[in-house]
Every structure is written in structure tokens, then in C-alpha cells.
Structure 1
Amino acid sequence: MTGTRRTPPGRAGRMRLRHSLDVAVRGADLLEQKLRILRSEHQRLLRAEETAARAWHDLLAEAEAESWLLRGLLLGGEPALDAAAAGIGSAEVTIEWTVSMGVRHPARVSTAVPTRPSAAAAPSNTALVHAEAAYGRAVRAAAEHAAAHAAAESVGAEVISTGHRVRALRRHWIPHLREALDRADLALEQSEHEDGVRRRWASRAAGGDGSATGR
């Protein structure tokens, strides 16, 4: 709002206000276009997040990994679990990033669950073998859900931010500029009218002086 208070009077000020209004309107139009695209992308990401969440929750509900682990412990005890885990590293999650309308967010995720080294001893019972495979699937599902959630959250935050900016322009800044432009138009019209009146009075006065000198 401070820009309009510093606007110079006359035609230069009116031109500046006109330019500022045009820029604000174009900016609001572009932001609304961005907002439409972002909302569409956000809906797509929300559906992807819902699908990933369902897959992960289904695995948790089935408790397949936990069931196989409990069976393996019953069959071989904790020493069997320690021996099965010996020499196996941690899973690695790789995230590929993308940018949607200026918003950086995860595009896809890949999870590398380490395989058992050839030198490592095999699990002492098949239940632990099944548990290992089931936990690998659960890790992949959890990583995919986390990436989908982060993507939806990032784009959703930009939707909110862009919506605020559009409303600020449409409801406050653009109306303010239009009011200021209307006042500038009125002031310029009044100034030109007053200048015209002064010129006519000056012309009449000059004409009267000339006729009086002639006599």
C-alpha cells in the first residue's frame, strides 16, 4: 500500500498507478492458473498417498512379518534370530525428486533391502526366512507411503500459500489500486478543468487589455 502514497501527482502518477494495476491483475491471473494446476496435482498426489497408505496398513493389519517372526523365535529362540541377522546391513532408501510449479517434492522412491551374503549362515528355520521376506515388503511399503505423504504435503502447502496470495491481490491490493486510480483520474480531470478555466480567463483578460489600448 505504501507504493500508492508515494505516487507523484498528475499524469506521471496516473501512468504509474495504471501500470501497477495491470501488473497486479496479470499476476493474479497467473497465480490463479498456477493454483488450478497445483490443485489438480495435489489431488493426484493425495490419491497416490491413499493407495500407498492402504498397502502399508494392509501389511500391518495382516501382521505377516510379526507372525513369522514369533514362529521363528518359538522354534529357534533369540540365538536363532541373532544368527539370522548377522552380517546383514541396513536397507537403503533412494528418493527421486521432481518440481511441480516451483514445488520440489518426492517423485518416486526405491528401497534396496540387503540380500543375505553368501558367507552368512542361513536362518535355522523357515519361519525366519518368511519373516525376513515379509519385513522387506513392509519396509518398501513404508518408504513408498512416506514419500507419497511428503509429496502431497509439500504441494498442499503451496496450494494454501498460493491461495492466500491470490486472495490478497483480488480482495485487497487490486481494489486499492483501482480506488487510487479513480482518485487520480478525478484529480487529473479537475486539474485540467481548472487549467482550462484559467486559460479562458487569461485569454479574456488579454483580449480586454488589447481593446482598451486601441481606444
Structure 2
Amino acid sequence: MSAHGRQVPTGRAGRLRLRRSLATALRGADLLERKLRLLLDREHAERRAAEEADRIWRDRLAEADAWLVRGVLLGGERALADAVPVDRAFIDVEWDALMGVRHPATVAWTAPVRSPTEPTPSNTALAHAETAYLAAVPAAAEHAAHTAAAQLLAAEAERTRQRVRALRRHWIPRLENQLSAVELALEEAEHEEAVRRRWAATHGGG
């Protein structure tokens, strides 16, 4: 017997081998389905977090833009240029792993620090704009990190789903069919052997 070019084992040893292969395939499918559930749960959590961060980011950005326009109207573009600190913001992304999938986990945010010699915003509107922008930046970073994590987890979930489908729809049924064929052949062989023994017994072993 053969299937897709591969030799199907026969006899009692073949039956044992097929039973072991089938048990391994079933156990593997169960483990992959468990992995898939964990990946999907985390992906959904990451997408919800990304949506919340996106809402905060856009709200803060709109607020900051509105204050910025007021501040520039009050103090001019020169006031805006003077209000920008020399220091820059820093964002550090820490990574985690779930079921072998590395993905962004947390975002560490360091706001720019204005030195004592640097001028502060010359009017209240620019001060409000600075505060709103400082709130928008980490929210944007959180949104990007959660979105990237969701995409990485979704990609691995799809690969895992394909592996489960291959096992459940193709490999496991093939092993079950092969095992059934081997067991049927063994039953027939045992039946024929029993018939021969009865015949030999009734004919004196001749």
C-alpha cells in the first residue's frame, strides 16, 4: 500500500507505528489549537489597546493644534520658535514574547527637559499646546507599539491556523484511513489463519 508516494506500514509493527503517529498528530493539533487561542486573545487585547491609544492620541493632537494656532496668533511664529526646548523626547520600546512571537510590549517615554536658561512659552496658549503635545506623543507611541504587536500576533495566528487545518483536514484523516486499512488487513489475516487451523485440526494436520 502507498499514499501520495509514501509507503504505508503493514502488519502489527505497522499498526503500532500508525497508532503512535496518529496520537502524535492529535496531540500536536490540540497544542496548536491552544496556541491559537492564546495568540488570538492577546491579539484582540492589543487591538483594543491600540484603539484606545489612537483615541487619546488624536484627541490630544487636536487639542494641541488648536492651542498652537491661538498661541501663534497671540505671540507670532517667533514666540513658537522660542518656546521649543533644545532637548528631545526619547521613546524606548521593550519587547516580549508569547508562544515564540516577539512583539512590542511596553513603551517608555522620556519628555524633553527645558534647561533653566531656555525661555518658557510666552503665552498661556502655547503652554497649553506644549502640555497637549507632550500627552499626544506617548499615546502615538503606544498606538504604534500595540498595532505592531497585533499584526505580528495575527500573522503567527494565521500560520498556526493553517497548520491546524492541515492536521485536522488532511494528515489526521489520512493516518486514520491508513490505520483502518492495516487493522482490516490484520483482521482478515487472523481470520484466514484461524480457518486454516480449524481445517488442519479437522483433517488431522494433513
TM-score with structure 1 length normalisation? 0.80
Offset, 1:164: 2.1
**Is the 1:45–1:151 contact (alpha carbons within 8 Å) kept by the matching residues of 2?**
yes
- Distance across 2 between alignment mates of 1:20 and 1:155: 29
**Is the 2:29–2:164 contact (alpha carbons within 8 Å) kept by the matching residues of 1?**
yes
- Give the match for residue 14 of structure 1: 15
Determine if the alignment matches structure 1 residue 68 to structure 2 residue 67.
Answer: yes
Equivalent positions of 1:75-154 (< 5 A) are: 75-85=74-84, 87-89=86-88, 91-154=89-152
**Which residue, out of 160, 163, 166, partners 1:165?**
163
Between Structure 1 and Structure 2, the one with more helix by share is 1
1:154-192: CA deviations, max 9, x gaps? 222333222222222111111111001111112233344
Structure 1 stretch displaced more, 193-202 or 65-74: 193-202
Offset, 1:197: 5.5
SS in 2 for 1:179: helix
- Distance across 1 between alignment mates of 2:41 and 2:15: 39
- Distance across 2 between alignment mates of 1:36 and 1:122: 52
- Give the match for residue 180 of structure 2: 182
SS in 2 for 1:124: coil
**Is the 1:4–1:17 contact (alpha carbons within 8 Å) kept by the matching residues of 2?**
no
Equivalent positions of 1:41-60 (< 5 A) are: 41-60=42-61
- Distance across 1 between alignment mates of 2:45 and 2:84: 39
- The one-letter amino acid of 1:102's match is G
**Is the 2:19–2:179 contact (alpha carbons within 8 Å) kept by the matching residues of 1?**
yes
How many percent identity over aligned positions?
56
- Distance across 1 between alignment mates of 2:85 and 2:40: 48
Query: Judging changes above 3 Å, is the alpha-carbon distance between structure 1 residues 58 and 121 closer, same or farther for their aligned structure 2 residues?
Result: closer
- Distance across 2 between alignment mates of 1:172 and 1:112: 52
**Is the 2:103–2:149 contact (alpha carbons within 8 Å) kept by the matching residues of 1?**
yes
1:100-137: CA deviations, max 9, x gaps? 23322222212112121222233333332222221111
1:140-162: CA deviations, max 9, x gaps? 11111112222222222333222
Offset, 1:27: 0.8
Greater Rg, structure 1 or structure 2?
A: 1
SS in 2 for 1:108: strand
TM-score with structure 2 length normalisation? 0.83
- The one-letter amino acid of 1:66's match is D
**Is the 1:4–1:177 contact (alpha carbons within 8 Å) kept by the matching residues of 2?**
no
- Distance across 2 between alignment mates of 1:125 and 1:52: 29
**Cα RMSD over matched residues?**
2.8
SS in 1 for 2:106: strand
**Is the 1:14–1:184 contact (alpha carbons within 8 Å) kept by the matching residues of 2?**
yes
- Distance across 1 between alignment mates of 2:92 and 2:100: 22
- The one-letter amino acid of 2:65's match is E
**Structure 1: gaps spanning 5 or more residues:** 209-215
1:73-115: CA deviations, max 9, x gaps? 22333333222225232x2111222222332222221211212
- Give the match for residue 29 of structure 1: 30
- The one-letter amino acid of 2:153's match is V
**Is the 2:85–2:113 contact (alpha carbons within 8 Å) kept by the matching residues of 1?**
no
